[in-house]
Amino acid sequence: MTLPASRRTVLLATGATALAVGCGDQDDGGDPGTSSPSPGQELAKTADIPVGGGKIFKDEKVVVTQPTRGDFKAFSAICTHQRCVVATVADGTINCACHRSSFDIADGAVTGGPATEPLPAQRITVKGDAITLA
């Protein structure tokens, strides 16, 4: 089985992130060569984010939601249970497929276990129709 290059890149990036997290807080100030979120990086257009729903950016490990029209939120896309990247946004919740934890799209609060900690908020800026990481 041969994975396409983009799939390999995602897997490698995920491993690198897991290692960095495992080693504690060793932020090197932002390496443009990694897939970690970068300040000023445009994630999406506002029209890409459904009202009452959201969109997961797996490479950036960010989920952007729009609980009500014009109100955009962003959270870490890494489940607080065992660190899977969340899989879907549906019916007002951000859902992890690994063990079925779910989180509120408005504030990241746990709405279903086994996770006990909310998804951490991420800072975004909405300027015109562009959503960027703050």
Q: Does 115 bind ligand FES (CB under 6 A)?
A: yes
Stretch 68-107: interaction string toward ligand FES, x if CB under 6 A: -----------x-xx-x-----------x-xx-x------
Q: How far apart are CA 37 and CA 33, in angstroms?
A: 11
Q: How far is the CB of 74 from ligand FES (least distance, A)?
A: 18
3-state helix, strand, coil in the chain (%, to 5): 15, 35, 50
Backbone angles phi, psi at 41, to 5 degrees: -75, 125
Exposure letters 104-134 (e unless 16+ CB within 10 A, then b): bbeebebbeeebeebbeebebebeeeebbbe
State in angstroms the smallest separation of the CB of 101 from ligand FES: 4
CB of 14 to ligand FES, least distance (A): 13
Query: In this complex, which beta carbon is closest to ligand FES, that of residue 10 or of residue 84?
Result: 84
Site for ligand FES, rule CB under 6 A = 79, 81-82, 84, 96, 98-99, 101, 114-115
